[in-house]
Structure 1
Amino acid sequence: MSTHRFLDRRSALRLLGAAGLGLATAACAGPGGGADAGRPSGTPSGLATSGAVKGTLSFAHWRAEDKAVLTELIASFVKKHPDAGVEQDISPSDDYQSTALRRIQGSKTGDLFTAFRGAQFEQIVKAGVYAPLTGTDVVGRYDDALIAPGAAKGVQYGLPYQLVFNMPLANVDALEKAGATEAPKDWDGFLQLLDDLKGEKYVPLAWPGGDAGNAGQLLNTMVMNNAPDDDMFTKIESGEYKVTDDWFLSTLEQYAQLRPYFQPRATGSTADAVTQSFASGKAAILATGSYQMAGVRALGAKFPFDLVAPITTTADKARYEGVFNATFVLGVNSASAHQRAAFAFLEFLSDPANAAVYANGTGQHVTVKDVEYTNPDLKAVAPWLTRKTLLAPRFQFLDLDIRAAVENAAVAVVGGTKPAKAAEEAQRVIDQKRA
């Protein structure tokens, strides 16, 4: 992570930017793509894909920070289809996670809607809300290896639109000031980096321990190399693994080692508070993900970004350098009265030129093929598109109560609970849920 390395990276990115970065996304499939990655075959089931595009549709999602860019895209869509309109129905992410299914069922809202990968997507599939997209031309506009999170039992129900990296976001200037000479390759190196940052009077690691939706993001990278299998959380939910197993206890013990490097009262900190701390230059690393780059810029940050994942093992045992996620799963409501318009808007968003407007305007990589990234921050983290990354494991949980128990164990440890006790309490909750 030396100064020279950053300069080399920036030079390389200028070359990549000149050619367009769309082709790079194909390498980000990682092992998380799984055997089911790719486009299912077949034909759509009753989806209105032709005819007049008219009527005002509701687009339900959780990213208020994208509203302005989407408003711009909607204006272009309406110019193309004058008899149609789009109203954004935006909820905070935590509310969306818990209430979206109830609200979009029966098309009360969300003619076109988004879903979180994992538990919410599975719930919406089971409820029959998705109009299957299998066999439609729009599926072919996406990278086959990245749309598996929107498929179930061979049917493509939704299209994950965003490609994000759920790993700590770093202030490159702070890293260089701390004398970092290379990216940490092992746990000792990561702790040394944090110690060096602390010596330079930074909060080394800003972590929103009081915000459940964001606090759990750090767990992705904390377990990626500790766990015996890539589907570690699926196996915790099934009972094959326990949080009292050695590998997870080791992870909790490492959380305890991070205590001196978090901000004061970390377990009660909100995402807004730590993001502000990072944007102002007080904190060197923000333990959430690339999805917050645009928000940090909006707060006035001028420093360059990179991503720095904790490698929790020795270098020779590390299987992954980081994690990614394919989420913001776009789907058409099966009960929509404006299904044709909803599908047309999905097609519009899936056009590479329009997807580029969304990506560059919001600071989010996308899964659409042949998109050219001009946003400097997207270019800065573009090398991660070709690195060894794991599909973010926290979204393997289908039972959100079990996920909360596992993630709360880490929060409890940061708050001072002994790792073994935190693990036992979490396992008790898991056992009760599975009973």
Structure 2
Amino acid sequence: MMTRRRMTMAGCCALALALGATACGGGPVSAGGGSKEFGGQTLSVAGVWSGAEQKNFQKVLDAFTEKTGAKTQYVSTGDNVSTVVGSKIEGGNAPDVVMVPQVGVLQQFAKKNWLTPLSATTQKAVGANYAPVWKEYGSVGGKLYGLYFKAAHKSTVWYSPEAFEQAGVKPPKTYEEMLRTAQAVSDSGLPAFAVAGEDGWTLTDWFENVYLSQAGPEKYDRLAKHEIPWTDATVVKALTTLGKLFADKKLIAGGQKGALSTDFPGSVEKVFGPEPEAGMVYEGDFVAGVAKDQFGRKIGEEARFFPFPAVTGGKAPVVSGGDAAVVLKDGRNQKAATAFLEFLATPEAAAVWARAGGFLSPNKKLDLASYGDDTLRETAKSLITAGDSVRFDMSDQAPAAFGGTKGMGEWKILQDFLRDPSDPAATAARLEAAAAKAYKG
């Protein structure tokens, strides 16, 4: 399915250095492409990925095995990474590496003294190949613990070109235009949006894009740190803006009730499945992977995106998420774990998954030609060129009890808001109460 790309001489040197191999003037790399110094060892890696994402990450693990000889064992944690990893540590069965999907969880792990700081080699690669914002999100107390291997561009709205053609509309430039476009799509006989309300995290992403554009990055940063309360007027304003969309049953496939029973893959299916039920779905670049892998859509032709539009005079937002690799102190194979993160910091490791699809890398040294299609290249370029104007998913920066747990905190409160968006101020008060408790804890 995937062919290995011949490395450049510079890339070979970087990879050999990262893995402790000798090459490029210091002696040839072995026929297998690495030193095999970890032969006979098994590296345990935990992460949230399952399905197609797990399959593609396995290709990265296999590339590490080819370089070092280390066998790998992947364990999917599901959404509750903190709980699963904590129980494994307590049970004396800690993984060596965890792919952490939330800044708040990374901070929690560091404060519990579960993590080992990144090696000097990895830190040097982060300094050279990543925008400073990624180092900031991977650091706690001035120490760098997390290497962001996989990123998500969460400011993309995906649409069916056929639905837009039928409605006689083009991709909008502003949020207000998007609502008018949605009305035109709805008037043409197809609900405008599939909303994945069953998954609370998608609703936090909706809020964050509106809030970042409307309130600006300074307020966004302060709210993410809970330096201003969720009852702030900017929050109520953003909820009011979002509520206008959520309240219009004609614009949402199945209305609020239908949205609340639709999970993320289901929302993509409603737009790009065999029997379309909506014209658009908002979520990150990973929508393309589902549309392509599960429903056979040609990305760029049958499935396209436009940037999440600017809201009421603000700038177009660039919200990102990501999975950071961390090394656990209680893991049994510290040296292999360290070498694995040094490998993940190279553009060669990122290229393995980039060619497979459904992946973006924050590593600016990754050749954009590594991505399999023009749409992925476009989203990757947008993420890289945004630099430090990127803002990390706000809910992922919060304590897990507020921003990252099913049936609790922000996820649950925004689901209730989708069900009844008539009182934004009351929703803001509930959010503040939950946030105050979680941040205090």
TM-score under structure 1 length normalisation: 0.77
The match for 2:205 is: 217
Q: 2:278 aligned with 1:283, yes or no?
A: yes
Structure 1: gaps spanning 5 or more residues: 1-19, 21-49
- Aligned to 1:289, what secondary structure does the other structure show? coil
The match for 1:25 is: none
The match for 1:103 is: 88
| Contact residue 172 and residue 309 of structure 2 kept, 8 A | no
1:425 to 417, 430, 433: 430
| Contact residue 215 and residue 288 of structure 1 kept, 8 A | no
Whole-angstrom CA distance in 1 between matches of 2:221 and 2:391: 13
Question: Offset at 1:107?
Answer: 6.1
CA RMSD for the aligned pairs?
2.9
Whole-angstrom CA distance in 1 between matches of 2:91 and 2:334: 13
2:63 to 60, 76, 79: 76
Per the alignment, do residues 62 and 139 of structure 1 end up closer, same or farther by CA in structure 2, a change over 3 Å counting? farther
- Per-residue deviation, residues 290-313 of structure 1 (Å, max 9, x unmatched): 123212211222313224314331
Structure 2: gaps spanning 5 or more residues: 1-7, 9-34
Q: 2:121 aligned with 1:143, yes or no?
A: no
- Per-residue deviation, residues 400-425 of structure 1 (Å, max 9, x unmatched): 33775445443323212422333333
Per the alignment, do residues 71 and 392 of structure 1 end up closer, same or farther by CA in structure 2, a change over 3 Å counting? closer
The match for 1:40 is: none
| Contact residue 112 and residue 342 of structure 1 kept, 8 A | yes
Q: 2:284 aligned with 1:268, yes or no?
A: no
Whole-angstrom CA distance in 2 between matches of 1:431 and 1:334: 31
| Contact residue 167 and residue 221 of structure 1 kept, 8 A | yes
Whole-angstrom CA distance in 2 between matches of 1:209 and 1:391: 21
The match for 1:358 is: 353
Question: Offset at 1:207?
Answer: 1.4
Higher relative contact order (CA 8 A, sep 6+): 1
> What is the percent sequence identity of the aligned residues?
18
Question: Offset at 1:150?
Answer: 1.0
Instruction: Point out the more displaced range, 332-341 or 103-112.
Output: 103-112
TM-score under structure 2 length normalisation: 0.76
Aligned residue identity for 1:53: F
The match for 1:400 is: 401
| Contact residue 228 and residue 247 of structure 1 kept, 8 A | no
Whole-angstrom CA distance in 2 between matches of 1:425 and 1:137: 41
The match for 1:189 is: 177
- Per-residue deviation, residues 316-368 of structure 1 (Å, max 9, x unmatched): xx13x122325210012222221112222223333322210112214211123
The match for 1:200 is: 188
Q: 2:340 aligned with 1:345, yes or no?
A: yes
- Aligned to 1:347, what secondary structure does the other structure show? helix
Whole-angstrom CA distance in 2 between matches of 1:62 and 1:434: 24
Question: Offset at 1:88?
Answer: 0.7
| Contact residue 356 and residue 372 of structure 2 kept, 8 A | yes
Whole-angstrom CA distance in 1 between matches of 2:91 and 2:120: 24
Question: Offset at 1:159?
Answer: 0.2
2:290 to 291, 295, 299: 295
Whole-angstrom CA distance in 2 between matches of 1:236 and 1:165: 18
The match for 1:43 is: none
- Aligned to 1:136, what secondary structure does the other structure show? helix
- Aligned to 2:279, what secondary structure does the other structure show? strand
Per the alignment, do residues 172 and 381 of structure 1 end up closer, same or farther by CA in structure 2, a change over 3 Å counting? farther
Whole-angstrom CA distance in 2 between matches of 1:402 and 1:341: 32
